[in-house]
Chain A
Amino acid sequence: ETGVTQSPTHLIKTRGQQVTLRCSSQSGHNTVSWYQQALGQGPQFIFQYYREEENGRGNFPPRFSGLQFPNYSSELNVNALELDDSALYLCASSFRDRVTDTQYFGPGTRLTVL
């Protein structure tokens, strides 16, 4: 157990809808990263939040957006869902430390878009 939790576990939506996924960081961590993992692929970086500000973004369109709250929990919002958004969404928390920067992953949210 990493101490990182995600909700919900599974979610089914239809094309065009909007979805919000949630992540609770491990205690003491100040950085949250979100990844999308399609079936049979490695996780792809979506974006990262450090102390409530976006601190890097992967190759994802603006309809993917996020928030980090003062308690360092985080949300991933996806608007105008497309079929290709079906994937496992993983969040990872870490503490910005230049010596080690191990990321601790949550169990993921499985999103299915019909």
Chain B
Amino acid sequence: KQEVTQIPAALSVPEGENLVLNCSFTDSAIYNLQWFRQDPGKGLTSLLLIQSSQREQTSGRLNASLDKSSGRSTLYIAASQPGDSATYLCAVTNSGYSTLTFGKGTMLLVSP
């Protein structure tokens, strides 16, 4: 059974800092990995999707890497802003069909 773990559970940083969120998964036979953002009480917004054959994806200040063999992914956020404050969820899809297995998320607070 696939299990996804995210570290740290919560993170508080001052504005402008670069930061790294970590995600690990137990079964390396994944189809793809996604990072999502969730604002309090809201739905999920997909930030980046990395196919299993890819090593990284970038979008603006966000960069996600994938090391499938070691079962790890990182989300790098450059020059953090208060608007980045949210919960960040990592999810993997195993081969077969497109159901997502999520971690519990990292709650990020960026202070002005």
Residues of A within 8 A of B (CB): 2, 4, 6, 31, 33, 35, 40-45, 48, 50, 55-56, 58, 88, 90, 92, 94, 96, 99-108, 110
Residues of B within 8 A of A (CB): 4, 31-32, 34, 36, 41-46, 49, 51, 89, 91, 93, 96-105
In angstroms, how far is the closest chain B Cβ from the Cβ of A56?
A: 5
Of the residues B41, B97, B102, B103, contact of A55 by C-beta under 8 Å: B97
In angstroms, how far is the closest chain A Cβ from the Cβ of B92?
A: 11
Contact present for B100 and A103 (CB under 8 Å): yes
For the complex, would chain B's binding face be called helix, strand, loop or mixed by DSSP majority?
Answer: strand
Contact present for A42 and B4 (CB under 8 Å): yes
Contact present for A96 and B98 (CB under 8 Å): yes
Contact present for A43 and B100 (CB under 8 Å): yes
Contact present for B43 and A90 (CB under 8 Å): yes
